[in-house]
Amino acid sequence: MPSKTYRIAVIPGDGIGVEVMPEALRTLDVVSKRFDIDFEYQHIEWASCDYYLKHGKMMPDDWKQQLSSVDAILFGAVGWPATVPDHISLWGSLLKFRREFDQYINLRPARLFEGVPCPLANRKAGDIDFMIVRENTEGEYSSVGGVMYEGTEREVVMQQSIFSRFGTERVLKFAFDLAQRREKKITVATKSNGIAISMPWWDARAAEVAALYPEVAVDKQHIDILCARFVMSPDRFDVVVASNLFGDILSDLGPACTGTIGLAPSGNLNPERKFPSLFEPVHGSAPDIAGKNIANPVAMIWSAAMMVDFLGGNVAGPERDAHDAIVAAIEDVLKHGPHTGDLGGKASTTEVGRAISERLAGAS
Ligand code: ATP
Ligand code: MG
């Protein structure tokens, strides 16, 4: 009998989400056998555009209750703009999870693997390996604002940025904790020269939190030059913490520097574990390649690995071992193939998923 059973909500969503999800589950099957960790799945068909077309909403009214007993959510991708506008599908599902489950950390690793062509010149595997910690619930993405004198010559629009002391301190603390466990250095994204009220305030909060972590070296960078440095010298970063908007920009740029969006995983975390956390690839539903079994499943499989580590409390133990073993299997398959089209190969989603599972099963 496995020693542990975690209850996981499985939400494939739309497009390639439906194709990459089975590969994550295949990986978790091997994890159960090798590491004595068991998963009980709650398969969910809502939070998809198909569901919306049938029911006029993205999720049932009791969605929160239905998910009340799960330990984590494994999420594929949502969106099918040909039939449902993105703002409806996104705000009706994923963004509801983030807000109502208080998943205030968006954690996104960026790492350059051997066997993956890097768009930056003269970079090799190991040169890029950092974590972006993005604030996920407030900041520039508040829905506070409005339009006045709409449609007239005097039309004005305003949208507020909201930074709470509570919200800012908790994301900074999470990031400094992470830095403390890694290389003891952190980059804090800001723009206090241009956004002269909220960003100096953000810097002050960062300085206060930094005082609690005297061993962590702090590097404060304006977002514009920080973007340039991601491209010019990505090797200098280890943990990068940023507000919602800046983190969003950085966490597309980071993975772009490491080859393909098909590799980038993410966790939407409620670190206190009061609500379930959600793990999903950074990429979307990719309608342009959906239904062809050619999507890269690595981002989804790596997201599942992040989930397992989080379930284990991010400390040494079978869950951490399982995470490390999945990442090692991914490393091996990226190095030796098979590869999907985004990496210049011809293999299918299923072939790459199977290869990762086989390496994981075979590795001792
Ligand atoms: P979002 O849903 O986050 O707004 P998007 O719809 O703008 O994202 P994606 O769905 O991520 O974009 O797709 C962007 C591009 O990357 C597309 O050309 C898509 O085919 C490609 N892509 C995304 N995910 C993968 C993957 N797993 N494997 C291969 N290519 C991918
Ligand atoms: Mg999309």
Q: Is 112 among the domain residues?
A: no
Same domain assignment for residues 59 and 74: yes
Q: Which of 209, 226, 258 is the last residue of a domain?
A: 258
Same domain assignment for residues 218 and 287: no
Q: Is 111 among the domain residues?
A: no
What is the CATH classification number for the domain harbouring 64?
3.40.718.10
Please give the single-letter amino acid code of residue 349: T
Same domain assignment for residues 292 and 337: yes
Same domain assignment for residues 301 and 356: yes
Domains identified in the chain, total number: 2
Top-confidence residue, 119 or 296: 296
CA of 78 to the centre of ligand 2 (A): 7
Q: Who contacts 154 (Cβ-Cβ below 8 Å, separation ≥6)?
A: 148
CA of 282 to the centre of ligand 2 (A): 10
How are beta strands 277-281 and 265-269 bridged, if at all? Answer: antiparallel
Same domain assignment for residues 231 and 162: yes
Same domain assignment for residues 306 and 200: no
Instruction: Please write the tens of the pLDDT for every residue from 121-178.
Output: 888 888 999 999 999 999 998 889 999 999 999 999 999 999 999 999 999 999 999 9
Q: Cβ < 6 Å from ligand 1: which residues?
A: 16, 79, 261-262, 283-286, 288-289, 295-296, 299, 342
| Tokens at 127, concatenated | 């040169």
Q: Which of 203, 229, 258 is the last residue of a domain?
A: 258
Same domain assignment for residues 254 and 307: no
Q: Which of 213, 243, 258 is the last residue of a domain?
A: 258
Q: Is 54 among the domain residues?
A: yes
Q: Is 113 among the domain residues?
A: no
Contact 250, 226 (CB under 8 A): yes
Same domain assignment for residues 19 and 100: yes
User: Can you tell me which atom of ligand 1 is nearest the CA of 282?
Assistant: 3
User: Can you tell me which atom of ligand 1 is nearest the CA of 281?
Assistant: 27
- Cα(335)–Cα(89) distance, rounded to whole angstroms? 36
User: Can you tell me which atom of ligand 1 is nearest the CA of 297?
Assistant: 27
Say which ligand is closest to the CA of 260: 1
Kindly report the pTM of this predicted structure.
0.95
**Of 14, 283, 288, which is best to mutate to test ligand 1, by the most ligand atoms within 8 angstroms of its C-beta?**
283
The boundaries of the domain holding residue 159 are: 118-258
- Cα(327)–Cα(360) distance, rounded to whole angstroms? 9
Q: At 255, is the pLDDT very low, low, confident or very high (cuts 50, 70, 90)? A: confident
Same domain assignment for residues 275 and 252: no
Q: Is 80 among the domain residues?
A: yes
Same domain assignment for residues 123 and 100: no
CA of 264 to the centre of ligand 1 (A): 11
> Average pLDDT of 77-85?
97
Q: Please determine, for residue 246, whether its predicted confidence score (pLDDT) is greater than 70.
A: yes
**Of 289, 330, 339, which is best to mutate to test ligand 1, by the most ligand atoms within 8 angstroms of its C-beta?**
289
